[in-house]
Structure formats: structure tokens, C-alpha cells
Amino acid sequence: MDASVSFSDATVTDGVCATQERRRHLSKGMSIIAAAGREGHKVEKNSYAGKSIAVFTSGGDAQGMNPAVRAVVRFAIYVGAKAFLIREGYQGMVDGGDNIVEAHWKSVSDIIQRGGTIIGSARCKEFREREGRKKAAYNLIQKNITNLVVIGGDGSLTGANMFRQEWSGLLADLVKEEKITQAQADKCMHLNIVGMVGSIDNDFCGTDMTIGTDSALHRIIESVDAIATTASSHQRCFILEVMGRHCGYLALVAALASEADWVFIPEWPPEHGWEDVLCSKLANERVMGQRLNIVIIAEGAIDMAGKAITANGVQKLITDRLKYDTRVTVLGHVQRGGSPSAFDRVLGCRMGAEAVLALMEATQDTPPCVVSLDGNQTVRVPLMHCVDKTRGVQKAMDEKNFELAVQLRGRSFQNNLNMYRKLSKLKPPKSVCDATGHSITVPFNLGVMNVGAPACGMNAVMRSFVRLGLTQGYSVLGIHGGWEGLANGEVLPMSWTEVQGWSGKGGSFLGTKRTLPDKVGYAKVAAQLKKHKIHGLLCIGGFEAYNSILQLSQKRSEFPEFCIPAIVIPATISNNVPGTDFSLGADTALNEIADICDRIKQSATGTKRRVFVIETMGGFCGYLATLSGLAGGADQAYIFEEHFEIKDLQADVAHLGTKIADGIQRGLIIRNEKANSNYTTDFIHQLYTEEGKGIFSCRKNVLGHMQQGGVPSPFDRNMATKQGGKAVDFLIEKIQENKRDDGTVYTDDIDTAVLLGLVKRQSVFTPVEELSEETDFTHRIPKDQWWLKLRPLLRILAKHESTYEVEGVEVESDSEVD
């Protein structure tokens, strides 16, 4: 089940226009080696009986480590291996004794929602010496452990690799010293290592996201949102220092998601004279009516000369020059705290399962690898290749080769930086906008509207779209109330300042309705498009938005007004739109569900043996139910796509009864709202209540519109902002290609009515008419849904009988996984 999985920032390359055939081959951009019998094949229960695996966490803690530990233990048990927990990291390995304990199913119960690491993490000077590593080897051999899962940063992973390289020599020394027998040495002659990167900084090259990064972004954005209200009340300027001694990812993405006025990061120092530019920008923003200013600084920020830029230094600059009431907030370890986000929980589950599988398949010649995230696919990449590349970033910064440093960070980092620089402009050029921020009369107009149910991220798209459209000299017209609003002429020009602060707001400020063009009347829609001279159209929304543009595309032969470039940006919590792996709003909804489920389970802390039945939204799409089930540690998730019968329900009741009789205190059942018309939430609740008598009690909760509410998650803000920019570029390109001498735009090419989706690791523009062939219109879902392959993992981690489908692939050492 993928991280949003979101997800916080899946790597996105520049958008491409893709046909069905091309989209099937997007993943071939990297040099991927699929091991024999991997993708789509099965891993049977107890298929690796007799082996042993140990897992430990090292270095700084990160939210998401506990879900990863839980997944390693439970998946190891599933494949028949013994699972061990090593407490206190390398120190526990050196000390041995009770620090290395066998783990059972219940050992990792009720930890998926907990931050930090329950097995502890500690720095260990002793392990840096050979004698310390010899002690560690001795302690592992006593438990017959020759497979290690390391969860930590590049230092921890490098230490594990050194340990592996010395293993045979360490064993020889132990035999010579008569601490172990030759038979023991022969039995444990090879040590296999697999790493998972746990670091909130996202500073490891070779993976899109490290465990803990998304959760840290949640803490930062929560803090910025809270500070913004008090800053606005008193017209203050706030300087926020965030973690990132050597990597500016947290600061950069937080700045992009929070509309910060300025950001300082180590990879891209400000140019000489930045002090004047910063003060001028802040002063002009106050003149334009902005009541607050936010500046975000990574703790490792430097200037072009390599001199540190500090929060207190920037505060003094602003106070001395502008006389603003300026405050400093250092977030510190708040960023490491709290519960892991839904993304980090799912990421930990997926990586943990893949790490176990990588170890089980390893041979003496298999190089140590890191389980990483590539788009929405788990992959295995050579450990030391990633470590060397990560260290290359610091080397480039030390040499003041900042362009290379940004390049080595990967395309996601570059895209974030480029988008922030575009949107950080104070105002559009005077040649295209007046003093109020409205467009001066220009030859071409871009229209933007919302269609369908509201979803978090809609407003962030509009802010990016409006500002970048105005910057490039186009007028942007806001269409209020969807297609009904357009038919009624509710079309108004949008200004630069109007969209200030929209990124962090939920709902839809333009208003949105589900009505489609065919119900409003094609003729009315065509008349209004012509009246307002709309030359390009952005439609933001869910299945209705996709269906709307499809209807217009299919009616182009009858209505020339529809022959304009049009684009859909999927925004729906259901994530049921074809042509994209993720829709805006889905990540926010998953976090809301995970948080609510945590509180519901906590409510039963003092009540033994209780099962909760939770109903989620999603229509016929089981994405929310499945992903929230994985993130919440659910025992089962019932969805429409996976048929179930009364005997399955009875088996699940019996399964829960067995677990609870074995000491598990609480159970969680998720049901998608349209999973089955007969087996309703009430029916399932009553069934569990009746069949569980004497074993457990049962309660039900229908979450309803709480899933649509709240403020957008960092992932949704970031993705929305970048997609708004890509939509502007697409429409302008197509307008310029298809403009006519009379000032109109005409195109009936199917490639000009598209949906902008996130597919694997690319933003892809797919013609809606092609997508119609991949759509189940009756149930409003795609015919092929990538996340269904994660269903077995949910059941396995809940101790059901199931068969795991392998999803990981190996990546060559010279592949670029950014």
C-alpha cells in the first residue's frame, strides 16, 4: 500500500504527454533489473523457514520507524523466519544479553501509531572499533542471526556495510580465541545487510522519501499555520528555524507549502546582496496589504561564502532595517515528535516487508542494498552507491559547487526549488498587471473552475495557476459554482493578491458543484465560453471533472467553442480517477482517517476486548479503506473491488476472536461505504456484535464528511502547487500552437483535452478520450488500480492467511533513482 500513499513528495519529472502505450513504459526510464520471478509473483507462507532476522534502529529517531519494525517482525514470521529485536541500536548489539530478544506477533502490537522507536536508538563509540564489532558478531552468533535490517541514516548504513565486510575476519578471530566453535562459524559464515533510511531530513540519495520526512513536514506546517494567525493579528514577521544541517529539503518544501516569503537552504545560498533584496520584498508586501511575513531557515543555511545564516541574524537584520516586530521560533525536536503520518506508516509497512524479502533472497554474493521508494514502487538499490552519492552532495557544497549539489539531490528537489523561485515573486510584471494585481487587457484568457465534491488542495492549485498565469501575461478568469455558475455567467477576473494564503485552506473558494455540462446544456456552456473569450480551461475536481472534459472533447465537432485546450487536475479524496496514481485530497483524507482511528482505539484503552467497525468514504473505490487500514493497523478492510461473502465475514469474526483470546485487546475493521449493498456497515456491526458475544464487544463509527474537512496535508499542498504550474505551461503551449489570426484558438486534437496525472514518477498528460477506455463508468473507478497489489500485505500484517505479491525490483548501481 503506497505511501499517501503519498504520500509527502513523490518525485515528479517534467510533464510529458502520454498515450496508453507510452504510459505503460514510463517505468523504463531507469535501468531496472527485475529479478527472476519477481513482479506479480507470490511469496508463500513459511517459504523461508529456519532463517533468522534481526532489526534495529540507529542514529536519530524518526516517525515511521515503529511501523517499519512491526512490518519486519510480522513479515519475517509470515515467511517462517525467527525475528529478533536489537534494543538500543549498535550499543545493544555490542552489549548483547537482554538487548537481543526474539520477537513474537504481540511484541509489536499497538505500535504503528507511535512516534520514535520502541526498541530505542543510541550512538555507540565502541562499535566504531574492531573490538566492539567483534563483540557484536559474537552476540549475533549466539542467536544464529546472519540477516540484519538496519533502520537509520547514512552513518548507520555505512557502519553496517563495514560490519559485513569484516564478518569473516571477525568470526576467524572468535574461533581463534575459542569464543565460538568452527561449526558455529561455518553455520553463520555470511552476514546479509538490508537498510531502510530513517531520517526526517530526507537527505539520502537513492530514495524519493526517507522514513519520517513526511511526518516532520506535518509538524512544521502545523507550526507555520498556527504561527500565521498570531503573526497576522499583530502584523509580525516570524523567522522559523527547521532541521536540516546538511539538507534543505524540509525548509524548501515547507516554504513551498506554506507560501513563505523567503527560504534559506544550504544547497542554494542567496546571492550577494540578499539582505537588501529581502528587506525590499518584505516592505513592498506590507504596502500591498500583507499583514504577516514568514521566513524559513534550515539550520545549516549558509551564504555564498559559506558563512552561516542564522535565525537570530535574520531577525536582527529585519528589526534594524524595517523596524518590524520580528520573532524567532526554533522548532527543534518538535519535528521528530508526534505520531507518524499516514504516508510514513504505509511507507514503513511496505519497506519492512520488502527488506525481509531482500534478506531471504540474498546470497553470499549479494551486495548490501537499501529498500527505497521510487514513485509508488519499492525498489532495492546498492547501499554504498547511495551513500557515496549522498556524500557527494556535501562535497559539492564544501567546494561551493551549489548547482551540482542541487542536481545530486535529485529531480524532485530541483522541481521544488524551481517552483518556489517562480512563486516567490513579489508581484507580476507591470506590463501585464495593474497596481491591484489584476491583468491588463491581454489577448488570451485562461479559465479555472472546480467540479465535484470539495477536496483539500483545490485552492493551492488555483493560487499557483493564477499567479503563474498572470506572470506570463495571461488573464485568469475564475468560474464560480462549476458548470452551473458558468452557464449563469458567474465569471470574474482573478488577481494576484486575491489568492494570497490559499495554499493552506481546505474546501474550494470558487465553489464547486457536481453538475455536468450535459445537464446544464452544451449550448449554454458554449455561449459563455465564447462570451468571456476563454481560450484555455483548467478543471479541478474528481470523477465529475474528468467526465466534464471528456464530454466537451466528444462534442467538439458540434461546438467549436469546445475546441480549446482543456486540462483536468484530479482532486478527490476517493482517488478514483483514471490516469493518475494519486488525486489531490486523498492524502489529507488518509491522515484524517488515521488520526480518527487512533483516537477511537485510544478511547477503549480502559475497556478490554473491543472491536470497532469504521465506515470510510470513497464511493465504489476502496483506496481510502485499504490505505487507512494499512496505516491504522486494521484487521480487515472490506472494499467493492474485492468480493466477499458471508463465510468470509464469519471467518474474520473467528479470526478476531482468536487474536483477542490470545491477548490482543482491540480490533479495527474498515468498510468502504459501497463495499457491498447487502453487507452494510450496520449488518457487519450487528454480525460482529452477535458472533463476538462473550469474547469482545463491538462499536461502529461512520466518519462521513470529517474526511473531506481540515487543512491540506503538506503532500497535497506541494503536489497541488506544482500541478497548477504544469497546467499553466501546458495551456499556454497549446494556445500558442493553435492560435489563429483572428485572435481565437482552435484545436480538435485529442492531445489538447487531457488529464494531468501522477503516474509512477512522472507528471503525465493523458488524453481523456484515451482514458475513457480504461474507465468503469458504472462504478466510477479505473479498471486498473495499482494499490490493489497491497491488499495481501494488509492481511498478512493482521495475521490473516494470505499470499504476498512481490512488488520490489532491483536497480542497477548506475541507475538514477531521484
153 annotated as ligand-binding: yes
201 annotated as ligand-binding: yes
801 annotated as ligand-binding: no
Cβ partners under 8 Å of residue 375, min gap 6: 10, 11, 27, 208, 581, 759, 760, 761, 762
811 annotated as ligand-binding: no
636 annotated as ligand-binding: no
Task: Classify strands 610-616 and 512-513 as parallel, antiparallel or unpaired.
Answer: unpaired
Q: How many CA atoms does the CB half-sphere of 618 hold within 13 Å?
A: 33
27 annotated as ligand-binding: no
Cβ proximity of 697 and 610 under 8 Å:
yes
- CA gap 663, 388 in Å, rounded: 46
619 annotated as ligand-binding: yes
30 annotated as ligand-binding: no
610 annotated as ligand-binding: yes
212 annotated as ligand-binding: no
707 annotated as ligand-binding: yes
Among the listed residues 502, 562, 500, 553, the one whose alpha carbon sits nearest the alpha carbon of residue 528: 562
Tell the residue number behind the cell numbers 466534464, with chain if given. 548
Tell the residue number behind the cell numbers 495593474, with chain if given. 434
- CA gap 104, 166 in Å, rounded: 30
200 annotated as ligand-binding: yes
655 annotated as ligand-binding: no
Cβ proximity of 331 and 220 under 8 Å:
yes
For 284, the grid coordinates are: 513592498
- CA gap 338, 579 in Å, rounded: 34
Listed in order, strand segments (DSSP E) in 471-590 are 475-479, 491-493, 512-513, 534-541, 566-570
Cβ proximity of 220 and 335 under 8 Å:
yes
130 annotated as ligand-binding: no
437 annotated as ligand-binding: no
Catalytic residues: 201
Tell the residue number behind the cell numbers 544541517, with chain if given. 245
- CA gap 707, 625 in Å, rounded: 12
Cβ proximity of 417 and 263 under 8 Å:
no
719 annotated as ligand-binding: no
528 annotated as ligand-binding: no
247 annotated as ligand-binding: no
Length of the chain: 818
617 annotated as ligand-binding: yes
591 annotated as ligand-binding: no
- CA gap 496, 55 in Å, rounded: 52
- CA gap 569, 560 in Å, rounded: 23
479 annotated as ligand-binding: no
251 torsion bin: left (phi>0), alpha (psi -120 to 50), beta (else): alpha
How far is the CA of 763 from the CAs of 320, 372, 536, 723, 766, in angstroms? Answer: 45, 20, 19, 8, 10
Q: Which residues are annotated as a binding site for substrate?
A: 199-201, 236, 243-245, 299, 327, 333-336
Binding site as annotated, residues for ATP: 60, 123-124, 153-156
Annotated binding site: 60, 123-124, 153-156, 199-201, 236, 243-245, 299, 327, 333-336, 514, 572-576, 610, 617-619, 673, 699, 705-708, 780
Detail the residues annotated as belonging to a binding site for beta-D-fructose 2,6-bisphosphate.
514, 572-576, 610, 617-619, 673, 699, 705-708, 780
Q: Which residues participate in the annotated binding site for Mg(2+)?
A: 154
